[in-house]
Structure 1
Amino acid sequence: MPGTTGRAYHSTVEVLEPEEWRARAEAHRQRVEAWTAPHLARRARGEAHPVEDFLFTYYGHRPARLRQWHPGAGVVLKEARDFGRDYLDTPEGATLDTAALMDRRGPTVEWIAQLLAATAARPAYLGCFGLHEWAMVYKTAEVRHGAWPLRLGGEEIAQVVEQRGVRCGHFDAFRFFTPEARPLNALQPTRQRQRELEQPGCLHANMDLYKWAYKLSPLVSGELVADCFTLARDIRVVDMRASPYDLSSLGHRPIRIETPEGRAEYAAEQRGFAERARPLRRRLLDACERLLAGAHRP
């Protein structure tokens, strides 16, 4: 239930007229429905898609939560009442109870801000060539996407991994490596070293901007969450095209990173994603800094 009073919190207030916030909410719903409806239909049929379903099965943000639009902190929705959980009713309209949310989530906001800032401060490394997916199927028959064939045999996959080497600094990718592949990684990432190792050329670090956006929700706008989802969705396509899986039946031409041409193609895609991720990372970091500044002001 929405509250009626809130603690003191210093924040710039923007007032949205009813026609504006209702139009934004509906545009967000329609945008997100194009992603969630096919996923829910596949789930009802008991089908799985290794590319399109990943963001819903790997990340912990339910489709219903993604569909819900929020204006973000410091915004009054004029004439809105009972807008939902975490919102206050004011004489002008509904607004987030930012103070209460920051009481609960302040440490999380600060941790995310530190990770985003540390990642943004590093140069992009473009030499991993997506071998994390290969390390996940190295010398094992227990592959994650067993319904889909591999492009190469087990010995060929092992040869590529061993000859090229693996340099993955993303813990949430590394933790899915096979036990035999982990010692081959030039880095040994841990959760505790996440801020130390993540860098802006990493496909998974840029995909994770979606995770940080929804963890900050509803303190950031629904549009920002959806923008990060769009990037993550595009990254997942390239991630799987560069993997050892054969997804040509789904219309995904492989990026053959076992060849010089494939590695060049992958690095170009990686560079493009790093450029697209930069403004999103900055928007998330700016939102965190505003929230933390408002919480710390007397």
Structure 2
Amino acid sequence: MSTILDREQWPARERAHEARIDDLTRGHRERAGRGEPHPVEDFLFHYYRNPLGHLRRWHPGARFVLAGAEERAGRRFYRMDDDAHLGVDVASFAAEREGVIARARLVLARTASRSAQLACFGLHEWAMVYRAGERPEAVRHPWPLRLGVGGTEDVVESHTIRCTHYDAYRFFTEPAAPRNTVTPTRERQPALEQPGCLHAGMDLYRWAFKLVPVVPSELVADCFDLARRIRVLDMRASPYDLRDLGYEPVAIETPTGKAVYVAAQREFAAEGAGLRARLLAELDHAGL
């Protein structure tokens, strides 16, 4: 049974969502207008490739239908019922996105079933530059290495790398890849994904976006907001020196830095668990 939002209720929700996305993306939009790259925030737009206009567009989700929304009747994956209420056409979405739905449910549920692993210390970013040199074309970001080439190599060689996320592992340098304790692949993702992984937390935004319009835009925005904050930790703990951009490093090569990283990682894992549960609940409600 869907809840009806009347003509006074749903436009207010729509405006609130648009304002929130405008606020969260203001810096990126202003920099993009100046042609100014950013090594931290650009990731969310370049890697996930979700159009900003689509992120800003509000969807009520499958739990709600809209009264007085006749002008939106032609939108994809929507239908008008006999009472002139506009709602998500779950059947047509399921028919066209069957593979995406199945993959999302599998990865989300398997990840939720595991305990968080909190001893990776963000070394995936270090493995992406290990023995690559400081040539701009050899590293992922044209920013100086905080410890230099030798210091970066020392950190990698003195630690155990435990990356479980394929989309991080696939960017490891060739010398770094054999140092990982596992060999993630796309096929093994459901078997390896775990909730302590920063990239698994950021990927909640990926899954939420793929499940629109069944998933409400407020949940997509919550996942996007978490991904933004996780990305900051990801890069603060990286080998890059980003202090000129206002990011104080989390020195994971030290006991203090490790403790700071794990504490933040634990908080993000808990927040991600809540969002993961909400995504699965939306699929359950829609019968997907």
Q: Distance in 2 between matches of 1:101 and 1:237?
A: 34
- Tell me, what secondary structure is at the counterpart of 1:82? helix
User: Which ranges of structure 1 fall in alignment gaps of 5 or more residues?
Assistant: 1-11
The structure 2 residue matched to 1:80, chosen from 69, 86, 91, is 69
Tell me if 1:89 matches 2:80: yes
- Structure 2 residue 159 is matched with structure 1 residue 159: no
Q: Give the whole-Å Cα distance in 2 for the aligned partners of 1:133 and 1:82.
A: 47
Q: Encode CA deviations 1:102-142: one digit per residue, 9 max, x unaligned.
A: 11112321221111111111111000000000001101131
Size of the aligned set, in residue pairs, is 281
Matched residues in 1 for 2:111 and 2:78: separation? 32
Percentage of identical aligned residues: 52
Taking structure 2 as the reference length, the TM-score comes to 0.94
CA distance in 2, matches of 1:82, 1:223: 22
Amino acid at match of 1:118: R
- Other-structure match for 2:33: 44
User: Is contact 2:145-2:152 (8 Å) kept?
Assistant: no
Please state if 1:204 is matched with 2:199.
Answer: yes
Q: CA deviation at 1:290?
A: 2.7
> Residue 233 in 1 paired to residue 225 in 2?
no
Does residue 9 of structure 2 align to residue 20 of structure 1? yes
8 Å CA contact 1:137, 1:178 repeated in 2: yes
Secondary structure at the counterpart of residue 65 of structure 2? strand
**What pairs up with 1:106-255 in 2 under 5 angstroms?**
106-141=98-133, 142-146=138-142, 148-255=143-250
Paired residue for 1:101, among 93, 98, 108?
Answer: 93
Between stretches 282-291 and 237-246, larger displacement belongs to 282-291
Cα deviation, 1:243-298, whole Å, max 9, x if unaligned, reads 0111111111100001111111101110010111111000011112233x3x6xxx
CA RMSD of the aligned region, Å?
Answer: 1.2
Look up the match of 1:4. none
**What amino acid does structure 2 have at the position aligned with 1:119?**
T
> 1:234 Cα shift?
0.4
Runs (4 or more) in structure 1 with deviation over 2 Å come to 35-38, 89-93
Give runs of aligned pairs for residues 252-263 of structure 1, distance below 5 A.
Answer: 252-263=247-258
Deviation track 1:18-57 (CA, whole Å, cap 9, x = no partner) reads 1111000000000001133332221221111111221111
Measure the CA separation in 1 of the matches of 2:285 and 2:186.
26
